[in-house]
C-alpha cells in the first residue's frame, strides 16, 4: 500500500448576493472576476440611498491588467474603462471588474497605460491625425486624416497561430464615413509613411475593419465588419508587426479610440501522432468502452474514471506508472444502492470523499478511508424520488461542482425532450433545464440559473465563476458556452446562438415558438479562429463572430488550466495556456451534419465582452468526452471510443490520454513531497 499524504484544498473569493436594502433604498454588489480584487468599496455588498454616486476601485493582481467594468443594469458606470471610477446607484446594482492575463500577450503596453511607449507613429496617404493617449486609451482624431501606430513583436516562430483582439470606439460628428482598421504585417517589415497598406500585398493582412457612418463601440471582433473579419494569421517567421490605424472623409471631424490590444500565439492544431511542439502524449487503454468522467483525488493525486453505461465501473488510475495503471475499484450499479441508467457526474470533496451522479439523479457518496485507500458507499441524495420527478427525461441530471468556500453544490438537470422543435415542446417540471444549487449536505435546494438545455460540461474557475457547455437541439443552432450567474435565464427552448446573434429566433424550422418575456442572457461569443462553422456548414449565415461552437460538435468536458492550483514541483504548460479552458468535444451524433468535434480545443476567455478565443489543440483524437487539469501540470482526456468520424459511437475501448509539456512526460515520484 503506498503512503497517502494530504494536500491543501484552496478556494479563493466568494460571491455574495445582495440583500434588498430596506433603510437605504438600494444595494450595490461589487465583484472582481479572475485577475484582481476590489479595493473600494470595502464591503462586497453595500446599501445606499437611491441616486448615490459611489467611487469604485479595482486592483489588478500580478500578471494581470484591468480591462473594464460591467454593470447590471447597464449604463450605471461613469467611465467603465478606468480602474477608479464612479457608479450611480438608483436601484439594486451589480458591478463586475474584469481583468486579462498579461502572460502570453506579445504586444507591450497594449492598454496604453504607459502612453505611447513601445508604439511608433505611422502616417497614411491623407493628413496625419492627432495621435495621443487620453485616460489610458489611444486616440486618433482630426478631419480627413489617415494614420495610426504600429509595433513589431515576436511571433513565437513560424507556423504559430497568432490572434488579435482589443477594443475600439468611433465617435463621429457627421454622417460621413469614419473607419478603424487592424493590420498584421507577416514579415520583418514596418509600414512606410505615406504608403497605403493593401491587403495581400507585401505580407499585409487586414484582420478587422469598421467603416460606417455614426458611432460604434465595443470589442473589435464583435463589432468588425463581417466581410473583412479575420481573427488570426499563421506566422511565417519569428517577427511580425501590428498596425492600428483609422481615418475619415475630408468633410468629417471624428475620433477613434483603441484599448486593451492583445496579440496571442499558440501552436497550430496538432494530432496525437504529431503533437504540438514541446508537448508529449501518452495513451492508456481501458478494458471497457464509455469512460465518461474523470476526477483527481485531492489526497493521493490518483485519477478516477467512471464508466457511463454498463455496470458503472469505477477505475483508479496511477498516473505515475509507465505504462499508466488502472485498477477497478467498484461497480456502482451492483453495490446494492440505487444508481439507475447511466453515470454522468464524478467529483471529490477536499477530504477525498467521492460523489457520483446518475442520469436519474441518484447521487452516491463514497466516504474515503485514508488508511485503506477505500470507500464506504451510501445514498447521498435521490433527486428524482425526493422531487417526485417522473420522467426525468432524455437528458436528466449531469455534471456537478462542489464549492466548499461557499458551502454550495451545483448540479445540471437538462431538458426532458430531445429537442426536435414544436412537435416536441419542452415541458417544465420546475427543475429541468436548470442549474440547481444545494448546500453541501444536500439541504436548501433552489434554482441557480435556468434556460439551459443540457450543460453536460460544468466547471468552476479559480475565482468561483461557473461555466457550462450546452449540447443544443437537433436544429443547426450553436452549441452554447455559458458564463453561469445566479438568476439568469439563457433562452432555452425559445432561442439559440448563431452568427446572427446570441439569441436568434426564426432561423430554423424546428425551433420552439419564441416565448413572450426576456430578455435572455446571451451565450458567449466565439471569436475563433476555430470551433465555429464555415461557409456551407450548418449554422453559418453571415460569418464573423459566432455565438457558441459548431452545431452538433457535442462539447462535453471543460476544465480551466489555473497555474495557481498546481503542485509546487509540477511542470506547467506555457504561459499562453494559463487560465485557458480546455474543452473535449465528443463529435457529431446526427446524420445531417459534417464531421465536427472529435477534438480538444482551448478557450482564452474575454470576460469583459462575454467572449473567447478558440484554438484547436488536438484534432481527430476519437470521441473525447471529459478533461481534467491535474495538479501535476498535465492535462488528462477521457476518450470515450476511438471513432473519428460519423454519427455512431463505434466499437473500441476507452482511453486515457495524458498531455505533458516536457520531454519525457512529467511523472511525479512521490506525493509526499507536496
Please tell me whether residue 65 adopts helix, strand or coil conformation: strand
φ, ψ for residue 77 (rounded to 5)?
Answer: -100, 135
Between these two residues, 171 and 115, which has the higher pLDDT value? Answer: 115
381 Cβ partners below 8 Å, 6+ apart?
361, 363, 438, 442
Band (pLDDT 50/70/90 cuts) for residue 25 is confident
Between these two residues, 418 and 141, which has the higher pLDDT value? Answer: 141
Band (pLDDT 50/70/90 cuts) for residue 202 is very high
Q: Is the pLDDT of residue 488 over 90?
A: yes
Band (pLDDT 50/70/90 cuts) for residue 19 is very low
Band (pLDDT 50/70/90 cuts) for residue 24 is low
Whether 265 contacts 162, CB under 8 Å: yes
491-497 mean pLDDT: 88
Q: Cell digits for 459?
A: 466547471
Nearest to 637 by CA among 612, 619, 663: 619
Tens digit of each residue's pLDDT (9 = 90 or more) over 247-257: 988 877 889 99
Please tell me whether residue 152 adopts helix, strand or coil conformation: strand
Q: Cell digits for 284?
A: 492508456
C-alpha to C-alpha distance for 65 and 72, rounded to whole angstroms: 22
Percent of the chain having pLDDT more than 90? 78
Q: Cell digits for 8?
A: 491543501
Residue 671 pLDDT: 39
C-alpha to C-alpha distance for 410 and 369, rounded to whole angstroms: 25
223 Cβ partners below 8 Å, 6+ apart?
168, 210, 216, 217
Question: What is the bridge-based pairing of β-strands 555-560 and 581-585?
Answer: antiparallel
Percent of the chain having pLDDT more than 70? 92
C-alpha to C-alpha distance for 45 and 28, rounded to whole angstroms: 6
C-alpha to C-alpha distance for 643 and 655, rounded to whole angstroms: 12
119-130 mean pLDDT: 95
Residue 496 pLDDT: 87
1-15 mean pLDDT: 32
Average per-residue pLDDT for the chain: 90
Q: 613 to each of 506, 567, 583, how far by Cα in Å?
A: 27, 27, 13
478-494 mean pLDDT: 94
φ, ψ for residue 542 (rounded to 5)?
Answer: -110, -20
Tens digit of each residue's pLDDT (9 = 90 or more) over 358-405: 999 999 999 999 999 999 999 999 999 999 998 898 899 999 999 999
Residue 484 burial (CB count, 10 A): 22
Locate the DSSP E strands across 349-433: 354-358, 362-369, 374-382, 397-403, 408-413
Q: Is the pLDDT of residue 494 over 90?
A: no
C-alpha to C-alpha distance for 148 and 139, rounded to whole angstroms: 9
Residue 11 pLDDT: 31
Whether 601 contacts 583, CB under 8 Å: yes
Helices marked H in 76-157: none
Residue 214 pLDDT: 80
Question: What is the bridge-based pairing of β-strands 254-266 and 624-629?
Answer: unpaired
Query: What share of residues in the chain are helix, strand, coil (percent, to 5)?
Result: 5, 45, 55
Helix (H) or strand (E) holding 292: strand 291-296
Q: Is the pLDDT of residue 606 over 90?
A: yes
Q: What is the pTM of this model?
A: 0.93
C-alpha to C-alpha distance for 567 and 649, rounded to whole angstroms: 36
Own/partner long-range contacts of 422-427 (Cβ < 8 Å, ≥24 apart)? 422/510, 422/511, 422/512, 422/513, 425/493, 425/512, 426/492, 426/493, 426/512
Residue 7 pLDDT: 33
Band (pLDDT 50/70/90 cuts) for residue 75 is confident
489-495 mean pLDDT: 89
434-447 mean pLDDT: 97
Residue 493 pLDDT: 86
Q: Cell digits for 88?
A: 450611480
Band (pLDDT 50/70/90 cuts) for residue 226 is confident
In which residue are the cell numbers 460621413 written?
A: 176
Q: Cell digits for 630?
A: 491535474
Q: Is the pLDDT of residue 166 over 50?
A: yes
Tens digit of each residue's pLDDT (9 = 90 or more) over 302-333: 999 999 999 999 999 999 988 898 999 999 99
What is the DSSP secondary structure assignment for residue 487, as one 8-state letter?
T
Residue 8 pLDDT: 32
286-313 mean pLDDT: 95
Of the given ranges (83-92, 496-505, 616-625), which has the lowest mean pLDDT?
A: 496-505
453-480 mean pLDDT: 93
Q: Cell digits for 107?
A: 504586444
C-alpha to C-alpha distance for 130 and 142, rounded to whole angstroms: 6
Residue 663 pLDDT: 62
335-364 mean pLDDT: 94
In which residue are the cell numbers 504600429 written?
A: 150
Helix (H) or strand (E) holding 387: helix 383-387
Residue 175 pLDDT: 60
C-alpha to C-alpha distance for 401 and 556, rounded to whole angstroms: 15
Whether 204 contacts 185, CB under 8 Å: yes
What are the beta bridge partners of residue 484?
Answer: 466
Whether 599 contacts 266, CB under 8 Å: no
653 Cβ partners below 8 Å, 6+ apart?
285, 286, 287, 288, 289, 641
Between these two residues, 509 and 368, which has the higher pLDDT value? Answer: 368
Band (pLDDT 50/70/90 cuts) for residue 504 is confident
φ, ψ for residue 110 (rounded to 5)?
Answer: -70, -15
Nearest to 259 by CA among 362, 136, 143, 356: 136
Band (pLDDT 50/70/90 cuts) for residue 146 is very high
Q: 444 to each of 408, 418, 458, 532, how far by Cα in Å?
A: 9, 29, 21, 39
Whether 546 contacts 525, CB under 8 Å: yes
Tens digit of each residue's pLDDT (9 = 90 or more) over 574-604: 999 999 999 999 999 988 899 999 999 999 9
φ, ψ for residue 346 (rounded to 5)?
Answer: -150, 125
Q: Is the pLDDT of residue 17 over 60?
A: no
Of the given ranges (235-239, 262-266, 355-359, 669-673), which has the lowest mean pLDDT?
A: 669-673
555 Cβ partners below 8 Å, 6+ apart?
456, 457, 469, 470, 471, 479, 481, 549, 583, 584, 585, 586, 597
Residue 656 burial (CB count, 10 A): 23
In which residue are the cell numbers 470589442 written?
A: 219
Tens digit of each residue's pLDDT (9 = 90 or more) over 516-563: 667 899 999 999 999 999 998 988 988 888 999 999 999 999 999 999
Quote the longest CA-to-CA distance of the chain. 82
C-alpha to C-alpha distance for 657 and 461, rounded to whole angstroms: 22
Residue 241 pLDDT: 98
Tens digit of each residue's pLDDT (9 = 90 or more) over 86-101: 999 999 999 999 999 8
Q: Cell digits for 396?
A: 436528466
Residue 425 pLDDT: 80
154-162 mean pLDDT: 97
Whether 411 contacts 366, CB under 8 Å: no
Whether 128 contacts 145, CB under 8 Å: yes
Residue 15 pLDDT: 31
Amino acid at each position: 500500500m503506498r503512503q497517502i499524504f494530504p494536500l491543501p484544498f484552496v478556494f479563493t473569493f466568494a460571491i455574495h448576493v445582495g440583500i434588498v436594502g430596506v433603510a437605504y433604498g438600494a444595494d450595490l454588489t461589487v465583484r472582481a472576476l479572475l485577475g484582481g480584487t476590489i479595493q473600494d468599496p470595502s464591503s462586497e455588498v453595500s446599501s445606499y440611498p437611491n441616486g448615490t454616486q459611489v467611487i469604485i476601485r479595482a486592483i489588478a493582481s500580478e500578471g494581470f491588467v484591468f480591462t473594464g467594468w460591467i454593470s447590471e443594469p447597464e449604463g450605471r458606470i461613469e467611465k467603465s474603462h478606468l480602474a477608479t471610477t464612479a457608479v450611480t446607484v438608483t436601484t439594486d446594482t451589480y458591478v463586475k471588474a474584469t481583468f486579462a492575463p498579461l502572460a502570453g500577450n506579445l504586444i507591450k503596453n497594449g492598454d496604453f497605460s504607459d502612453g505611447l511607449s513601445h508604439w511608433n507613429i505611422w502616417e497614411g496617404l491623407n493628413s496625419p491625425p492627432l495621435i495621443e493617449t487620453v485616460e489610458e486609451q489611444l486616440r486618433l482624431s482630426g478631419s480627413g486624416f489617415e494614420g495610426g501606430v504600429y509595433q513589431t513583436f515576436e511571433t513565437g516562430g513560424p507556423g504559430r497561430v497568432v490572434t488579435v483582439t482589443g477594443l475600439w470606439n468611433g465617435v463621429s460628428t457627421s454622417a460621413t464615413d469614419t473607419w478603424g482598421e487592424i493590420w498584421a504585417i507577416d514579415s520583418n517589415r514596418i509600414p512606410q509613411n505615406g504608403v497605403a497598406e493593401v491587403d495581400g500585398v507585401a505580407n499585409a493582412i487586414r484582420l478587422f475593419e469598421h467603416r460606417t457612418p455614426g458611432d460604434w463601440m465595443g470589442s473589435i471582433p464583435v463589432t468588425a465588419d463581417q466581410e473583412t473579419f479575420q481573427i488570426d494569421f499563421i506566422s511565417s517567421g519569428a517577427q511580425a508587426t501590428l498596425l492600428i490605424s483609422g481615418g475619415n472623409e475630408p468633410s468629417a471631424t471624428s475620433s477613434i479610440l483603441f484599448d486593451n490590444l492583445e496579440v496571442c500565439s499558440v501552436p497550430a492544431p496538432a494530432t496525437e501522432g504529431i503533437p504540438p511542439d514541446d508537448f508529449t502524449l501518452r495513451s492508456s487503454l481501458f478494458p471497457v468502452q464509455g469512460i465518461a468522467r474523470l476526477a483527481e483525488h485531492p489526497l493521493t493525486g490518483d485519477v478516477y474514471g467512471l464508466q457511463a453505461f454498463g455496470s458503472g465501473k469505477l477505475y483508479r488510475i496511477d498516473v505515475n506508472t509507465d505504462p499508466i495503471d488502472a485498477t477497478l475499484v467498484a461497480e456502482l450499479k451492483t453495490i446494492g444502492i440505487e444508481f439507475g441508467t447511466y453515470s454522468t457526474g464524478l467529483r471529490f470533496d477536499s477530504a477525498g470523499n467521492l460523489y457520483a451522479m446518475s442520469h436519474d439523479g441518484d447521487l452516491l457518496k463514497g466516504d474515503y478511508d485514508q488508511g485503506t485507500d477505500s470507500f464506504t458507499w451510501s445514498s447521498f441524495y435521490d433527486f428524482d424520488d425526493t422531487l417526485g420527478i417522473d420522467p426525468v427525461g432524455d437528458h436528466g441530471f449531469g455534471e456537478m461542482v462542489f464549492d466548499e468556500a461557499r458551502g454550495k453544490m451545483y448540479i445540471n438537470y437538462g431538458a426532458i425532450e430531445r429537442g426536435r422543435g414544436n412537435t416536441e415542446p419542452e415541458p417544465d417540471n420546475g427543475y429541468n433545464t436548470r442549474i440547481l444549487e444545494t448546500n453541501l449536505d444536500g439541504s436548501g435546494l433552489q434554482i441557480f440559473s435556468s434556460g439551459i438545455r443540457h450543460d453536460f460540461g460544468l466547471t468552476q474557475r479559480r475565482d468561483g465563476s461557473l461555466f457550462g457547455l450546452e449540447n443544443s437541439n437537433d436544429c443547426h443552432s450553436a452549441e452554447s458556452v455559458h458564463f453561469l450567474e445566479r438568476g439568469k435565464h439563457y433562452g432555452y427552448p425559445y432561442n439559440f446562438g448563431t452568427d446572427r446573434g446570441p439569441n436568434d429566433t426564426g432561423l430554423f424550422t424546428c425551433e420552439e415558438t419564441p416565448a413572450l418575456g426576456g430578455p435572455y442572457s446571451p451565450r458567449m461569443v466565439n471569436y475563433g479562429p476555430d470551433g465555429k462553422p464555415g461557409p456551407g456548414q450548418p449554422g453559418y449565415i453571415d460569418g464573423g463572430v459566432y455565438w457558441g461552437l459548431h452545431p452538433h460538435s457535442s462539447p462535453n468536458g471543460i476544465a480551466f488550466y489555473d497555474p495557481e492550483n498546481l503542485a509546487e514541483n509540477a511542470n506547467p504548460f506555457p504561459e499562453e495556456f494559463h487560465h485557458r479552458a480546455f474543452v473535449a468535444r465528443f463529435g457529431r451524433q446526427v446524420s445531417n451534419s459534417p464531421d465536427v468535434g472529435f477534438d480538444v480545443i482551448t478557450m482564452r476567455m474575454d470576460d469583459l465582452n462575454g467572449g473567447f478565443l478558440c484554438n484547436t489543440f488536438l484534432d481527430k483524437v476519437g470521441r473525447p468526452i471529459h478533461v481534467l487539469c491535474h495538479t501535476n501540470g498535465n492535462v488528462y482526456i477521457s476518450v470515450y471510443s476511438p471513432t473519428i468520424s460519423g454519427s455512431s459511437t463505434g466499437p473500441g475501448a476507452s482511453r486515457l490520454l495524458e498531455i505533458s509539456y516536457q520531454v519525457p512526460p512529467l511523472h511525479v515520484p512521490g506525493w509526499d513531497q507536496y
